[in-house]
Structure 1
């Protein structure tokens, strides 16, 4: 064979390898559980004035998010962005468009809409900091415009834009034509770098856009997920001596739990019948300093388990009784209305029970303390919230969730908790490099509810997680590669 012919053959073989390796499997196949690392954003200690302003906005934001009576009935969709100013907000990354671009988004089980700050490359979104990475629809060849308006209301401002759709990659999966909000106008400083938006992980019933949430599309598509669930392990830095601006924040899994991050069994409790489209559990028991606290029954005991909220909101009567068991506590005034202060030297022991389970889940003293505001005075992470029609009376956020491995299961609809493992606890307060945003090179693909391709993901490293394809997917891909390579080799040699 001549040198030119030999070179041609080598090029041909290389081309065949790249084409086969990059081509998606046209058949739906089971895929291994996927996970992404979670980043945590932390901030320096605030002055009392800064903390007071944040506390008022946080309480108002939670009430706005859930349409509680103190702020009126929810109009067109609520998401809590004031959580970005806390010491423990958590976000992951998604990739949007063609070519894909990564964006950091809050992973929020307390809402159901996906939205991003948006603006053309030569303009900025009104009211949003210039260092925020925005989505440019003109730069994506797969973006589809919609004329439907989209608006979001917060306790301390608002945002608005329109709906659109594009290809979204998330945790090793890809969904085509996913509807999301493109926010083009906001109140000042509601969104700051490194965040670009929010991904709602609750049910479609409460989606302002009416669109099926991305996670629900994956669950509804046969053959995509090993199990119809999502799971969180959230790291703790609230009591760290010198937290950095960005820290490793834990792990989010979809499709299966990560057994290295918990011990014992996962205690699943079903979502109550007739509950709205949040991840709802019934609060059946609460103790403070060893004393039982009276909790309402029926729907008044329903709690939204919400990764997008930092503290814990509860009915006013419950908050009053909680702090009556803590000597030296006092109701907050002014900006702290609805909160309580207590002596920082007090070790507060709080524990919950949910549903019919006998398991008791405790909150660490570090998490009960929202922040110290003077030499001996601290603000508690529990605060009172109003009531609203078709909204839960309790909001249980990261103050609790940092103490458990939490699992959100779509079928049967339930939320489960398990004790954190030593491996999970070892990351608390451990400084390290925050995970980088990732773009999946060979994603699992779905359009609406139809799978058109499958393959392994490249989602970066995370403790105990697995990014490998399932044995079935690997065997199928290998067979396709070998067959195609042999045929292509024969073809090239005959040339």
Structure 2
């Protein structure tokens, strides 16, 4: 039975980013919970190209985390070019994305994609891109809720929140595989009068910014259909004139350090210090990007703006007792849509307390990293001395090459793609587990299915959500949403600790 999407056959995963803060007093203490919304995927590309884009972004992100030089732009271009040369055109006629643009433009932005388009030309690009003229249909056991959302191309409404100070999570699903639930945003208010801003939440960075009035795109023109902050829209906006710049795995922004009033789930931060972006790369300025800013929730020692993160400011001003941030990352295919981010504590309704483990953060730079062991189907792989950076801003799991090989050797039917990725059966039932603090956390096998090699055959081969990369130490992993959707994740700046628990 054939299966495809309503929009494009595969959709580019967007990035994650950053945030920052300093606050003024409003003297009360409580736990605050914000909604998280999955980012829509707007642009269609061949699945192997999409995987390489994610690998490229993860490699650069990992390199920044460990403070070493990452792969050069030329090297990343060569990797994408090789994928393009190998990609076979899907058997579709229609070659337009959801917004009606010709898909030969679809590789612009995602890790040197613009240069690939320029060099390869329309014919080669079209060979890498799928069509969108078919509807998704229930097949191979994929949940109807995910397929309905994919066909609708719209937000799946959240259930009623289950805890105080919580806001429900609306989820947009434009592709039916769980590995493509890749971005999560919350709505905050900024300025006077206050206006809503959609902000991407990222545990792997430490700056907060939103788009500024007059923002210009590096690709030309303005910064798209977003909400902006400045003197024209806010009477309490103050510009310090100091500049900042942040470069991500994909894209960059630069702008000025400012102060203005913020409201985060009812908590008022007066004259808060953060950044407004005045120049954005296409990754952030394009209309396909559904967020207005980025909030980083690693420790402020990483901040390019050199100010406190929002959670640190909330704790400093006594609005929460400790600088704790907790995440429930939702999987749209479950039909629950209950993702949330919680400041100041943990939402006890989201996890099994008997499985909660707390362990020391071993990263010296401000990221969230812990000791980890790895097993497949309860068989320990004997990988000693491994550590893992836990990063909501990364979609995949990036493991050292030998470790990635060891994991996939235990998954029947695995093949290597020769470029750091792996192909596994779409029907895989092998369970990969990561153990932190003595507690094993299983990865649902469906989260390993990044994308089918052939979109018409969901009983064939799928690209694996675990790939190889050697950037930091030979024993260091970068663990993103493929794992984090399977655990309740929390970190505490004051105690420099990480907590994980099994979801309920």
Say yes or no: TM over 0.5. yes
Q: Is the 8 A contact 2:40 2:290 kept in 1?
A: no
Aligned position for 1:263: 352
Measure, in 2, the Cα distance between the counterparts of 1:187 and 1:136. Answer: 20
Asked if residue 234 in structure 1 is aligned to residue 314 in structure 2, the reply is no
Higher relative contact order (CA 8 A, sep 6+): 1
Q: Is the 8 A contact 1:40 1:248 kept in 2?
A: no
Measure, in 2, the Cα distance between the counterparts of 1:364 and 1:88. Answer: 16
Q: Is the 8 A contact 2:26 2:319 kept in 1?
A: yes
Aligned position for 1:280: 369
Q: 2:449 aligns with which of 369, 372, 378?
A: 369
Q: 2:427 aligns with which of 345, 364, 370?
A: 345
Q: Is the 8 A contact 2:250 2:283 kept in 1?
A: no
Give the deviation of 1:330 after TM superposition.
2.0
Alignment partner of 1:367: what SS? Answer: helix
TM-score by length of 2: 0.66
Measure, in 2, the Cα distance between the counterparts of 1:27 and 1:403. Answer: 36
Give the deviation of 1:392 after TM superposition.
9.2
Measure, in 2, the Cα distance between the counterparts of 1:157 and 1:362. Answer: 33
Give the deviation of 1:152 after TM superposition.
2.5
Asked if residue 205 in structure 1 is aligned to residue 301 in structure 2, the reply is yes
Give the deviation of 1:190 after TM superposition.
3.9
Provide structure 2 residue ranges, at least 5 long, that are not aligned to the other structure.
Answer: 1-23, 74-108, 112-171, 175-179
Asked if residue 295 in structure 1 is aligned to residue 383 in structure 2, the reply is yes
Q: Is the 8 A contact 1:129 1:189 kept in 2?
A: no
Provide structure 1 residue ranges, at least 5 long, that are not aligned to the other structure.
Answer: 1-25, 74-80, 422-495
After superposition, give the CA deviation of every residue in 1:168-206 in whole Å (9 maximum; x if it has no partner): 221222223333232222332445342112100111111
Aligned position for 2:256: 162
Aligned position for 2:439: 359
Aligned position for 1:459: none
The aligned runs of 1:307-456 (5 Å cut-off) are 307-333=392-418, 337-354=419-436, 357-374=437-454, 375=457, 376-388=460-472, 393-421=476-504
Q: Is the 8 A contact 1:326 1:348 kept in 2?
A: yes
Q: Is the 8 A contact 2:299 2:493 kept in 1?
A: no
Give the deviation of 1:403 after TM superposition.
1.1
Measure, in 2, the Cα distance between the counterparts of 1:95 and 1:364. Answer: 35
Q: Is the 8 A contact 1:43 1:87 kept in 2?
A: no
Tell me: CA distance 1:200–1:155, structure 2 relative to 1, closer, same or farther (3 Å).
closer
After superposition, give the CA deviation of every residue in 1:121-152 in whole Å (9 maximum; x if it has no partner): xx764546622223344322222213333222
Aligned position for 1:104: 198
TM-score by length of 1: 0.67
Give the deviation of 1:275 after TM superposition.
2.3
After superposition, give the CA deviation of every residue in 1:304-329 in whole Å (9 maximum; x if it has no partner): 21112222122222111111222222
Q: CA RMSD in A?
A: 3.0
Aligned position for 1:428: none
Q: Is the 8 A contact 2:331 2:337 kept in 1?
A: no
Alignment partner of 1:205: what SS? Answer: helix
